[in-house]
Amino acid sequence: MRTVHFSASFVRRPCRPLPTSAAFVPTRTLARGMKTHFAPSLLTGVGPVGPLGCWGRAGPPACAMAPFRGSPAAAASVAASAAASAMDSPALISAVKELFEEALAAVVPAGIPTQLAMVAPTDQKNAQLGDYQCNNAMALFGMCKKLGADNPFKSPRAVAEAILAALPENELIKKTDIAGPGFINVTLNDSLLATTAARIVTDGVAWLAPTSRKGKKVIIDYSSPNVAKEMHVGHLRSTIIGESLARTYTFCGASVLALNHVGDWGTQFGMLIEHLNDQKAAGKATDDESVSDLTAFYKQAKARFDEEDEFKDRARKRVTTLQGGDKESLRMWQEICDVSRKEFSKVYDRLDVNRLEERGESFYNPFLPETVKELLSIGVAIESDGAVCVFPEGKGPDDENVAPLIVRKSDGGFGYATTDLASIRHRIDVEKGDELVYVTDVGQSLHFQGFFDAAKRAKWWDPEKTRVEHVGFGLVLGEDGKRFRTRSGDTVKLASLLDEAVSRCHDNISQRNEEAYGGKMSKDEVSEAARIMGYGACKYADLKNNRTSNYVFSYDRMLELKGNTAVYLLYAHARVAQILVKAGVADEAGMKVALESADGNIPLNMDKILEDGKAVVHITAPQERALALHIARLPEMLDDTLDGLNPHRICEYLYELANFYSSFYTECRVVGSDQQKSRLLLCESTARVMRKCLDLLGIEALYRL
């Protein structure tokens, strides 16, 4: 076995010179005007800044550091600099893979294709084995055997040995060993983990954002309720999942266009306008209750449409005049949309969703005739029974059991599919999206597959150039395992659902406030905490599941104090915050500041955590190492989240983080220990990562509970 030392592949990469001195002032902290004794001291002195930023995968790293060549303790010290914020922080796993790919390139014999590194994190239950495992040796040996006499290897183990011998010198890996037939276990350098944890405090958690989405334009279509219809739990799921993805993409450097593809166009507007007209004639305005409850209004209009021939006739004519651009019809359509819009925005305000841009189906109306015409002219669509249809590749009207995509109905009207074809084209050609994401229930999968496929055949979408994904999600079920409904069988109103969660939290927190804190929290504080916890619990209960599975909506479960719930995590964060207060690193006033600030960071009394003006984390116990490793794996988790479009990965990570922290806190004395500064730094680092993860899930943090 060979121990690989510092001086990595990246040493060969161009680096900007190391600054000779660096001063760091946490700007937000100062801007908030703290008491002088809390003013952070300047961090001066430079040390070898952690190598994390230099692991660079593709593209030149923005690098301002030299490779570490000093003692491990020195390596763990941090000198933050202005340049540091521009640092790239690729995922650990990618850096490990890159090293193994270099090694593989050197050992793969002629006649065998280039090998991608098969590297996976080691299950932390087996932490003694290492942090990552590279599993290429066995498969590569299998390929080499086919070379017969030209196979240079005797066994998979020999392949593993060759890979290790070819591993470039680097700063990342402390130790490697071969297990079993040829698994390579990899242990990372402690100093690197320590440095990463410390830098989160000096440079902010954004420093650790992965760079895989930098400069990418991502268009996320989510929420997308329908005008004059109830915004139901499905739309709530879409809103919560889409918002979390939007936040995560943004954090990872993408420019996000969040689109609310509201169902604001279609034949139903004929009857809605006519009904509105009649209501007005009867002296009722849009702010009248009978109209503002649009669901009821819709039902009335529908009933009349089904029962009154004269009304039906007018409604049909109205659709034509509306689609023909008649001013008066458009004005009334607008009026109806406005009523819905007001209702939707109430939900968005509650959920803290404010980046969504409304671009409803109506936006694409002018492009629809052209869309169909082109599909016909290139032969992707054909006329069938008076309608224009896109059949699956190789299928036609004579094939049985095929459901074509209808792009123009036999009455000449356009539908959902046509709008989506126009929208995908617009998002690629005009908006220049690199990734297009659509968040709806899995029930719409066929629709998405259908128009994605048509867009590809029409050459409007090149999958090599643009990533297009339907992010489907499962149903919300009631505790009886059936579709979530009220006892009377109606769909559950979103507002009342959130209200109930908040009210239950209010009861719990008030009780705790009296019992455990002697009423220390004011009435307002209790209400605010209940709001954060109630909304947080609903969001988290939704996000923590693998999105494609159905989940059971249960207040009891989502409000449990233990286990993978928002309540547990909010408590976990509050406990860390309170330790920092107890140690004098932060104070109550600082927490108030944190609550109002954009990044939620508590102003810190830096003297309490810096050693000789430097932020230094010492790793002396396995629990400290496990915690620091988990923190350093944030970029890897985020890449994973976006690759699979799975926000539940963030929940998993956050829950594990809370657990690693809890083992650390149980085993390692913080306040009053020799390691107090280092450990407090680790606490603050943990708190920041916790807050960032909560924020990516759309959940606010609590500092005291």
Binding residues for ligand ARG, rule: CB under 6 A, are 221, 224-226, 261, 263, 420, 423, 438, 440
CA-based Rg of the chain, rounded to a whole angstrom? Answer: 29
Q: How far apart are CA 539 and CA 503, in angstroms?
A: 16
Helix axes 648-667, 566-582, angle to 10 degrees: 40
Measured distance CA(416)–CA(361) in Å, rounded? 8
User: Would you report the helix, strand and coil content of the chain in percent, each value rounded to 5?
Assistant: 50, 10, 35
Min CB(428)–ligand ARG separation in Å: 14
Closest listed residue to residue 203, CA positions, set 452, 428, 64, 27? 27
User: Cβ 441 to ligand ARG, closest distance in Å?
Assistant: 7
Backbone angle region of 215, left / alpha / beta, with phi > 0 → left and psi within -120 to 50 → alpha: left
Least Cβ distance, residue 338 to ligand ARG (angstroms):
18
Element (H, E) at 441: strand 435-441
| Residue whose CB is less far from ligand ARG, 212 or 224 | 224
- Residue in 297, 282, 279 with CA at minimum distance from that of residue 337: 297
Least Å from the CB of residue 554 to ligand ARG: 25
CB nearer ligand ARG, residue 50 or residue 263: 263
For ligand ARG, the closer of residues 216 and 447 by Cβ is 447
159 or 424: CB nearest ligand ARG: 424
Contact 193, 632 (CB under 8 A): yes
| Least spacing, CB of residue 359 vs ligand ARG, in Å | 10
Q: State in angstroms the smallest separation of the CB of 440 from ligand ARG.
A: 5
- The amino acid sitting at 354 is N
Q: Shortest approach of ligand ARG to residue 222 CB, angstroms?
A: 8
Query: Residue 512 burial by CB count (10 A; 0-12/13-18/19+): exposed, middle or buried?
Result: middle
| Cβ proximity of 535 and 699 under 8 Å | yes
Nearer to ligand ARG, 32 or 470 (CB): 470
Beta partners for residue 408, in sequence order: 388
CA atoms within 13 A on the CB side of 376: 16
* Total number of residues shown for the chain: 705
CB of 360 to ligand ARG, least distance (A): 9
Report, in Å, the least distance between residue 431 CB and ligand ARG. 13
| Cα(496)–Cα(197) distance, integer angstroms | 42
Q: Nearer Cβ to ligand ARG, position 359 or 688?
A: 359
Based on CB atoms, which residue is closest to ligand ARG, 251 or 438?
438
Instruction: Give the whole-angstrom CA distance, residue 275 versus residue 297.
Output: 8
Nearer to ligand ARG, 375 or 422 (CB): 422
Nearer to ligand ARG, 133 or 224 (CB): 224
